[in-house]
């Protein structure tokens, strides 16, 4: 009986290592949000540039539930370089199919979305060594309204990911 238990434990440990290892990920972090994402709330991610030679893909990661009622998502994303340079982008992502079904992966009511930030059009290289910071804020508005959505419902987690690009 003890031998079967040891074999089972070893197999379980191997499965955990295989599924938890992600050789492409250089940085991958999520921040949980309360029941809603306030328009003034900024998710910040600080990481060290892996190197200035290789190319990388940068992603904004989101987890959302069916409480998310929009077909798209507008984000303000700011990339701060070690020397003080800042690059700000307003990005739009498609979040639902024409029939209203939420896009993303997942079998439960939580969908996971991996959204391109940098590296999809041309290879991204970190041009400076040191600490980078990415700030992410939503910029959603209801149709016909000037003021933005104060509290965006349905987004449970916001993340940022850096992956080594496949050459």
The answer to whether position 19 is within a domain reads: no
Q: Report the 10 Å Cβ neighbour count for 101.
A: 10
Per-residue exposure over 4-29, b if at least 16 CB sit within 10 Å of its own CB, e if not: eeeeeeeeeeeeeeeeeeeeeebbbe
The answer to whether position 34 is within a domain reads: yes
Helix (H, G, I), strand (E, B) or coil at 97: coil
pLDDT score recorded for residue 148: 84
Q: What band does 22 get if pLDDT is binned at 50, 70 and 90?
A: low
Q: What is the CATH number of the domain that holds 125?
A: 2.60.120
The answer to whether position 18 is within a domain reads: no
The answer to whether position 105 is within a domain reads: yes
Q: Report the 10 Å Cβ neighbour count for 162.
A: 26
The answer to whether position 15 is within a domain reads: no
The answer to whether position 6 is within a domain reads: no
CA 118 – CA 72 distance, rounded (Å): 19
Residues 6+ apart with CB under 8 A from 106: 112
Tens-digit pLDDT profile for residues 68-124: 999 999 999 999 999 999 999 999 999 988 988 888 888 778 889 999 999 988 889
Any idea which residue has 């031998």 for tokens?
A: 3
Angle in degrees, CA 145, 146, 152, rounded to 5: 70
The answer to whether position 12 is within a domain reads: no
Q: Which tokens in the block code for residue 164?
A: 């080594």
Domain that holds residue 106: 24-164
Number of folded domains that form the chain: 1
pLDDT more than 90, % of the chain: 64
Sheet harboring 155-164: ordered strands across?
25-32, 155-164, 56-64, 111-118
Question: Is residue 155 over pLDDT 50?
Answer: yes
């Amino acid at each position: 009986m003890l031998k079967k238990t040891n074999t089972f434990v070893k197999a379980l440990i191997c499965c955990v290592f295989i599924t938890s290892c992600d050789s492409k990920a250089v940085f991958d972090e999520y921040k949980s949000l309360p029941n809603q994402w306030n328009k003034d709330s900024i998710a910040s991610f600080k990481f060290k540039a892996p190197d200035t030679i290789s190319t990388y893909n940068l992603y904004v990661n989101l987890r959302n539930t069916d409480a998310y009622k929009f077909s798209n998502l507008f984000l303000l994303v700011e990339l701060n370089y070690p020397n003080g340079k800042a690059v700000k982008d307003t990005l739009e992502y498609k979040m639902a199919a024409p029939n209203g079904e939420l896009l993303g992966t997942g079998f439960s009511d939580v969908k996971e979305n991996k959204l391109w930030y940098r590296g999809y059009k041309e290879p991204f290289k970190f041009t400076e060594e040191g600490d980078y910071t990415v700030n992410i804020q939503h910029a959603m508005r209801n149709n016909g309204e000037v003021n933005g959505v104060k509290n965006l419902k349905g987004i449970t987690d916001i993340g940022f990911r850096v992956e080594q690009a496949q050459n």
